[in-house]
C-alpha cells in the first residue's frame, strides 16, 4: 500500500468527519432557533370615541404548549394608559374586538377560568423572566391570549379620523418546557377615599392552595392619588414584606428583595394602599380616570409539577371592600422584623 494512497484515504476520512460534524452543528443550531421565537400580539387597528374605554382582543393559541419568557411593550403613549395580558379558556366575546370595562353593557374579558399573565403601565420597560422560568400558554392549558387595553383619553382618535391603535406586546416564546412555571396573584380592593385627607385601603386572604408559591416580582397600580402600595406575607405568626412601591413610578414588575420568601398552604397575604385626596369630593374605586384603583400584582413561580396551581380559580386573586380596620392581629408577631429571612436559601431565586 503506497503512502500517497494512505494519505488520500486519511484526507477523505477527515473530510467525512468534518462534514458530519458540520451537519450536526447545523441541525442543532436549527433546532435551537426553531425552539425560540418572537410572537407579536397586538390590537388589530382599533379606534374609540369614548374616554376610559376598555377594549379586548383575543387569539387562539393552537397546537402544543408554548412558553412565554419575555415581554416587550408596543404602545402609543398618546392613547394607551395600561395593558393587561390574560390567559383564558375562552374569550369573553365572539366578537373580534369587544368592550370589556366591567360595566352592564360590556362583555367579560374571559369566560370560565383565566389567569393574568402580565400587566403594564406608565411607560414601563421590557421584562425578561428569570432563567428556566415561563408562563405556559396553549396545549392543555389556557388556549387563548386576550389583550385588554385601557384608552383613558379618546381625544387623539377624535382629532385624527384615520388614527388606529395597534398596541400590544412582542412576546419572547419557546417550545421547550421550563423547569419553573409562573403565575400572577392579584390583590384588589373596593372602598373610597375621603376628601381632604389620607386614607388606607387594604385586603387580606388566606392561601388555600396545595402548591408552595415562590414570589419573585411585584407590580403596583393606582391612579394619581396613590402614594404607596405594599403587600405582606404572614407565616407562622411572623410578617414578611413582599414588596412596596409608589404607583407614581414606572409600573413594571420589580424583583422581590427577600429571595427566600415562600407562601405555604394556610399562610395569609395582605396588601394595602396609602392614598391622599386633596379634593373636595369622595373618590371611589373604579375604572375611570375620575376613580382610583388599589392593585398589587405578585408574580410567583411553582415547579412544573405543580402546574395545576395556575388553574386554581380560588387562589389567583384576593378582593375586599377595602376595610381600613381589617384585623390582622392574630397573624402578626410584633417582635418580628420585616427584613428577617428564612434560613434555607436557594440561589435560583437570585432574580
Binding residue ranges: 81-82, 150, 221, 223, 293
Q: CA–CA separation, 314 vs 293, rounded Å?
A: 22
Q: CA–CA separation, 268 vs 211, rounded Å?
A: 14
Nearest alpha carbon to residue 98 among 88, 107, 111, 89: 107
Nearest alpha carbon to residue 322 among 291, 299, 278: 291
Q: Are 234 and 328 in contact (CB under 8 A)?
A: yes
**If residue 8 lies in a helix (H) or strand (E), which one and from where to where?**
helix 3-35
As given in the structure block, the three cell numbers for residue 28 are 442543532
Contacts of 242 (CB under 8 A, 6+ apart): 215, 218, 230, 231, 232, 233, 256, 258, 261, 269, 298
Q: CA–CA separation, 89 vs 114, rounded Å?
A: 6
Q: Are 296 and 322 in contact (CB under 8 A)?
A: no
Annotated binding site for Cu(2+): 81-82, 150, 221, 223, 293
As given in the structure block, the three cell numbers for residue 183 are 403565575
Please provide residue 337's backbone torsions phi and psi, each rounded to the nearest 5 degrees. Answer: -80, 140
**If residue 158 lies in a helix (H) or strand (E), which one and from where to where?**
helix 155-159
Please provide residue 103's backbone torsions phi and psi, each rounded to the nearest 5 degrees. Answer: -80, 170
Q: Are 270 and 234 in contact (CB under 8 A)?
A: yes
**Strand pairing partners for 296?**
187, 220
Amino acid at each position: 500500500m503506497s503512502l500517497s494512497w494512505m494519505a488520500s484515504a486519511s484526507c477523505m476520512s477527515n473530510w467525512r468527519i468534518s462534514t458530519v460534524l458540520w451537519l450536526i452543528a447545523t441541525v442543532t443550531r436549527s433546532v435551537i432557533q426553531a425552539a425560540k421565537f418572537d410572537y407579536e400580539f397586538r390590537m388589530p387597528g382599533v379606534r374609540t370615541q369614548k374616554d376610559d374605554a376598555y377594549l379586548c382582543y383575543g387569539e387562539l393559541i393552537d397546537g402544543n404548549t408554548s412558553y412565554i419568557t419575555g415581554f416587550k411593550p408596543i404602545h402609543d403613549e398618546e392613547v394607551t394608559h395600561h395593558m393587561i395580558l390574560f390567559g383564558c379558556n375562552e374569550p369573553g366575546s365572539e366578537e373580534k374586538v369587544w368592550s370589556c370595562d366591567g360595566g352592564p353593557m360590556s362583555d367579560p374579558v374571559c369566560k370560565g377560568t383565566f389567569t393574568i399573565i402580565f400587566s403594564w403601565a406608565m411607560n414601563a420597560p421590557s421584562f425578561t423572566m428569570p432563567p428556566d422560568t415561563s408562563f405556559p400558554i396553549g396545549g392543555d392549558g389556557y388556549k387563548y391570549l386576550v389583550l385588554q387595553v385601557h384608552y383613558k383619553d379618546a381625544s387623539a382618535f377624535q382629532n385624527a379620523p384615520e388614527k388606529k391603535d395597534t398596541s400590544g406586546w412582542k412576546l419572547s416564546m419557546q417550545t421547550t418546557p421550563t423547569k419553573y412555571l409562573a403565575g400572577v396573584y392579584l390583590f384588589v380592593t373596593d372602598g373610597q377615599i375621603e376628601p381632604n385627607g389620607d386614607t388606607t385601603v387594604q385586603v387580606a386572604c388566606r392561601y388555600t392552595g396545595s402548591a408552595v408559591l415562590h414570589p419573585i416580582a411585584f407590580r403596583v397600580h393606582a391612579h394619581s392619588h396613590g402614594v404607596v402600595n405594599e403587600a405582606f406575607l404572614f407565616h407562622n405568626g411572623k410578617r414578611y414584606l413582599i414588596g412596596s412601591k409608589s404607583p407614581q413610578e414606572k409600573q413594571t414588575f420589580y424583583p422581590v428583595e427577600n429571595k427566600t420568601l415562600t407562601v405555604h398552604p394556610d399562610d395569609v397575604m395582605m396588601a394595602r394602599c396609602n392614598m391622599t385626596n386633596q379634593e373636595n369630593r369622595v373618590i371611589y374605586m373604579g375604572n375611570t380616570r375620575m376613580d382610583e384603583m388599589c392593585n398589587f400584582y405578585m408574580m410567583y413561580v411553582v415547579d412544573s409539577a405543580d402546574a395545576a396551581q395556575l388553574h386554581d380559580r380560588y387562589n389567583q386573586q384576593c378582593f375586599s371592600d377595602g376595610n381600613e380596620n381589617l384585623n390582622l392581629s392574630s397573624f402578626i408577631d410584633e417582635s418580628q422584623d420585616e427584613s428577617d429571612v428564612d434560613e434555607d436559601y436557594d440561589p435560583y431565586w437570585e432574580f
